[in-house]
Amino acid sequence: MPLDTIVYIDGYNLYYGLLRKSDFKWLDVFQLFDEQILNRSSANVIEVRYYTAPILGSMCDDSESPQRQRQYLQALKRMYPEKVVIIEGKMIQFKPHRRPIDKSLGVDFVQVQDFEEKKTDVSIAVDMLSDACSKRCTQMVLCTNDSDQEPTLKALKQFHPDMKLGLVSPIKKHDRYPSKDLAQYVDWQKNIQEHHLSSAQLPEKIPHTSIRKPLKW
């Protein structure tokens, strides 16, 4: 029988690992896992949980970036109202600081603005452990290459040994390697390939809505 499966996606890890400089940002995350990554004969995807944080205008080179992100998240919600869940954290903006640079450029310092995403790691960990305790599924698939989730997988393997764990690494081929800290606790591991992304794109216009793919990204 196919395993009831929940997918947990670290949205920023996926974006910066694979999507940022690609043509596949209008990604259908449900189709990606339901049809491209997993086999329907062995996995029944009951839910995809997408963890992210609203970007701030001050962290963007393009003033339209926050609107495009909202547009994308709305597209996922309307396309899969019962299958895709968006869990939002927040982005923290720190006080600007000066950083010294090469004086040969004619400038001694540049002003640097730092940002940090909050709540995503904790939300993923809490949700995975809670879902395991409530027996909502028989397989969990974590999409990240962030080794901060090692304690989560370790605890799941220790206290829920019957739960099947999969790791999907959002990394470019020949660029980075799957996290060994994460891989040691899972039953299987797979990388997302470019053909997976190209074959899992949302429609240009989301049916029964006015939401369209942005003209530029």
Q: Tens of pLDDT along 31-44?
A: 999 999 999 999 99
Pairwise CA distance, residues 80 & 30, whole Å:
8
pLDDT tens digits, 53-98: 987 555 555 667 888 999 999 999 999 999 999 999 875 654 554 5
Which stretches of 3-134 are assigned E, i.e. beta strand? Answer: 3-10, 43-52, 84-88, 90-93, 97-100, 109-112, 115-118
Q: Give the residues of the chain that fall short of pLDDT 70.
A: 56-63, 91-118, 174-175
Q: pTM here?
A: 0.87
From the CB of residue 68, how many other CB atoms can be counted at a distance below 10 Å? 19
